[in-house]
Amino acid sequence: MHYRHVAKQQSRRLLRRYPFLTHITIVTTVITLVWIYGVYYGERTLFARHIDACHWDKWERWPPGATPHHLVLVADPQLVDPHTYPGRPWPLSTATERYTDLYMGRNFRLINANLDPDSVVFLGDLFDGGREWAPSKAKPLKGAQIALLQHMGVMKSNEVVEKRSLDSYRKAIATPHHQVIEKKDHFLTPEGRDLKKFVYGEKGRWSSWGQQQWDADFRRFSHIFFDTDQLYPHGATRDWFAAYEVQADDVSVENGADNTTWKEYASSGGRQRRIITSLPGNHDVGFGMGAQLPLQDRFQMHFGDSNRIDVIGNHTFVSIDSPSLSAFMQFMPEGGETPPDKATELTHLWQPAMDFLEGIQAPARKAVDDALQSYYPSKNAEAGHTHAVFDSDEQAPSRAARPSSQAELPTVLLTHIPLYRDPDTDCGSMRERGRALSISAGYQYQNVVTRSLSNSIVSYVSKVGNIIQIFSGDDHDYCDVSHVYNIGQAQKPANDASRTTPGLSNVKEITVKSFSWAMGVRKPGFQLVSLWNPVDADGKSLGTASPTIQTHLCLLPDQLGIFLDYATLLGATMVVLLIRAVIIGLQAKTTEDDEVPESPLSELTLPRYQSKLYGATAGNPSTANKGTKQKSRHRAASTSLESALNSSSNNLGVQRSFNARTRSVSPAVGIYTPNNSAYTLPPSGQEHHGPLVDKAGYHPSIKWLDPTDAEDSDEENDVSAVSDVDEDDSQAKWKRRRRAPGRARMAVGEFFASTAVVGLPSLLWYIWVVRHG
C-alpha cells in the first residue's frame, strides 16, 4: 500500500507538471506500438524476407560438393531525375527521387549482405535522362600543361595537340564511304555537320540542363552501387587469407578460383566482388539515329568499354552496345528498316560495335586463355624475359609468346535491347503487364532489335562459343522466350556425305525486370544466375551435368503497396482516435450552474479553525456547525491600514483592486471575544459593530483541492468563489465565471491531443528507420 500511495503521488506530480501525459492511455499506447511494429516490418522485415527467400540453397540444383559462381544481373535502375516526371511539382518529385534511391540502395545492400554474390552485372539504362544532359566540352591544354606532358614523355615536343585528339576517334568513324574532314578537335561530315557537337532532343526542352546534372546523377549512382558500405556491408565481408597457408583445392580451381598457393610472393588473397556497369542503354546514350558520339564518349569514360568480353564462372560473357548498333538497322517512322544510304550516313555510330563483332574471335580467345592461365598457371605459363645483361646497342631477345589455344567456353550474350521475336510471343507467367512484349518504337526507343540485326548479332557471337543464354533489359518487365537460330554445327546426312545441313539451336532469352519501383512495375526484381562449369587446362568440361547455368527471378517488395498499407493503418488510427474522443466528450459531466467538472475530492472539507464560543477547542469541530455545508469558498478580506486604526468607524476600509493578486473580499459580521483569539459568527439576530479588522481570520469549512486540477492548484488565481453574503456586492456584479468547454469542444481537443501523442513518436521512429536503412 505504501508503494501504491507513493506511485499515485508521483503520478499526480507528473500530471500537474506535464498535462499532456493525461492523454497517454492504454489505447494511445497500443496504437503507437502498432505503428512502431508496422514501420519496422515495412522498412526492414519485409525487405529482408524477400531477399532471404531467394537464397541460393533454395533453388540451386548442383551435384554435392559443387562450388558455383554466383552472379546477380541488375537491369534498368534508371535513376529518377527531372526528366522522369516533368509534370510533378517540387515536393512530390523530390520525394520520388529520394525514395527510389533509398529503395534501390537498401535492396542492393541486402543482396550483398545476405546473398553474397561473386559478380554483379548491369544491363543498361543506369540513368533516366542521361541522353538529355549536354556533356561539357574538352578544354584546350594550356602551355604549362603541354610543357609538363612533354617533360613527362607523354607528348613529343613536335606533337600537335589537335591532331592527337583526332587520332583517338579516327578509327571509330573513318570509313571508305565516309570521308572525315579534320577541324580543330571536332569531326565534320562532307555536308559540314559536326559529329562531336551535342544536339538537344525534344526540341531543346532540356537545353538548360547540362553536365552538372549528369555529374549529380553519377554521384547518386556511385553512392547506391559503388560505395564500400553497399558492396561490403557489415557482416558480409569476404574472407581474406594468407596465400601460403592455403592448400590447393581442385574443385575451387576447376570452378575458377585463383590457385593462390602457386604465387610464391603473394601475401594475401581472397575473392573480390566484381562489378560491371559498362553496358549502355538507350536512356544513357540514345537509340539508333538518336545516339550521339559525345554521349558515348562520356559514358565509356566513366563506366568502361561498351563492347567487351568477360570470363565469369568459366563462361564467356559478350556485351554488345545494341542501342548504338541499331543505327545500322532500325525501324523507320515511315515504315520498313533503315535504308543503306541512311546507314552509311550514320557509320560513326554503329561502326565501333560492328568492328567489335567482326573481330570478336581474337579477344575472346585471349580472354579464355588468360582465365585458364589463372586456373592452371603451371601448365599455361607464359615465357618470361631472360635474366641477362645486354649492351644498349644490342637488342634484347623477345620473350616467347604463349601459344594461343582453341578452347571455347559456353557463351552468354548481354544486350540492353531484347532480340527480335514474333509478335504476341508468350513471355511466361512471371510477367506483370500482359503476356507478350510489344513490338513498337518511338522517340529514342525501340522495344526489340530488328530481325536482320538480331540474326547478325547471334551469328557473330556464336563464333566465340555455343550460345546457351541471352539476357536483356529495357522492357522493365519479365519475359522468358526461346529463339531458334541457324547457328548450329553443320551436320552431314548419313545417305549423302557430300551435303551438309545446318544445325538449328534453341537459345533462351530472359528479359530482366527493372530494379526500380518507379518504372511501371509494382514488383521490381533482379536475376540470379548460378554458373558451374569446371574445366581442365585445355578448357574442356570435366563432365558436369548440362546445362552449366541456372537462373532464378527474385522479386522485390511492392513499395507502392507498402505506402498503401501505411495509408490504411493511418485511416484506421484516425477512426479509433475519433471514436475514443467522442466517447470521452459524451462522458463529460456538465451542468448549467457549474460548467466545470468537479473533482472526486471536492467533497472532502475540513474547517481551518473552530471558535471556542460554542464550547469547542481549537482543532475540534463544534456540534453547532455539524452538518453545515458551504457552497463556496470564503477567503479573508484585506483592508487598508486606515480602516484597521479607525476602530470606531462603522465603514469598511478601501479594498484593494479586484484584479490584484489577493484573496477575494468576503466580509462577515461577527463578535469579537477579547479573551480568545477567535472570530465567529454571532447568534441569529445579533449584529456586530466595529472595525473590519476585528473580523479578520475567520474561515468556514475549506474545500480540499485536487492536485491534478491545474485550475485549482493556484489558490490566488481563483476568483470565482464568493460567499452568499456578498451576492449583492457591487464588485461581484461584473465578475464572470470561467466556462468549461462543451462536449463537442472537449472531443475535438482530445482527438487532436491523442493524435499528437501517437503521431509524434511514430513519425520520429519512421524518419530514423528510413535514414538508417
pLDDT digits (tens, 9 = 90+) for 512-532: 999 999 998 999 999 999 999
Question: DSSP string spanning 662-679?
Answer: SPPP-----EE-TTSS-E
**Residues paired with 121 in a beta bridge:** 73, 276
Given a cut of 70, is residue 673 above it in pLDDT?
A: no
Half-sphere exposure in the Cβ direction for 593 (13 Å, CA): 3
As a CATH number, domain 58-138+216-237+250-259+272-381+403-556 is 3.60.21
Closest CA relative to residue 326, chosen from 354, 294, 345, 299: 354
Q: What residue ranges of the chain are covered by domains with CATH 3.60.21? A: 58-138+216-237+250-259+272-381+403-556
pLDDT tens digits for range 383-405 = 555 666 766 666 656 655 555 66
- pLDDT of amino acid 734: 52
Given a cut of 50, is residue 596 above it in pLDDT?
A: no
Confidence tier at 147 by pLDDT (50, 70, 90): confident
Closest CA relative to residue 271, chosen from 231, 308, 304, 310: 231
Locate 654 and state its grid cell: 478601501
Q: Describe the crossing of helices 26-40 and 743-771 by its angle, rounded to 10 degrees.
A: 30
Locate 301 and state its grid cell: 569514360
**CA separation, residue 618 to residues 610, 625, 675 (Å):** 6, 14, 14
Least confident of 40-44, 167-171, 365-369: 167-171
Q: How many CB atoms lie within 10 A of CB 681?
A: 19
For the chain, report the end-to-end CA distance as a whole number of angstroms: 47
pLDDT tens digits for range 321-373 = 999 999 999 988 888 888 888 888 889 899 999 999 999 999 999 999 888 88
**What is the percent of the chain with per-residue pLDDT over 90, rounded to a whole number?**
39
More confident: 139 or 424: 424
Confidence tier at 92 by pLDDT (50, 70, 90): confident
Locate 692 and state its grid cell: 473590519
Distance (Å, whole) CA 54 – CA 528: 8
Q: How remote is the C-alpha of 611 from its chain's centroid?
A: 78
pTM check: above 0.75: no
Distance (Å, whole) CA 441 – CA 743: 65
More confident: 115 or 702: 115
Phi, psi at residue 565, to the nearest 5°? -65, -40
> Strand 411-415 relative to strand 274-276: parallel, antiparallel, unpaired?
unpaired
What is the largest distance, in Å, between two alpha-carbon atoms of the chain?
A: 152
Phi, psi at residue 363, to the nearest 5°? -65, -30
- pLDDT of amino acid 505: 83
Name the 3-class secondary structure at 733. Answer: helix
Kind and range of the H or E element at 309?
Answer: strand 308-312
Instruction: Answer for the pair 173, 348: CB distance below 8 angstroms, yes or no.
Output: yes
Distance (Å, whole) CA 160 – CA 174: 20
What average pLDDT does the chain have?
75
pLDDT tens digits for range 288-330 = 999 999 999 999 999 999 999 999 999 999 999 999 999 999 9
Instruction: Answer for the pair 368, 316: CB distance below 8 angstroms, yes or no.
Output: yes
Cell 645483361: give the residue.
389
Given a cut of 70, is residue 28 above it in pLDDT?
A: yes
More confident: 672 or 377: 377
- pLDDT of amino acid 503: 67
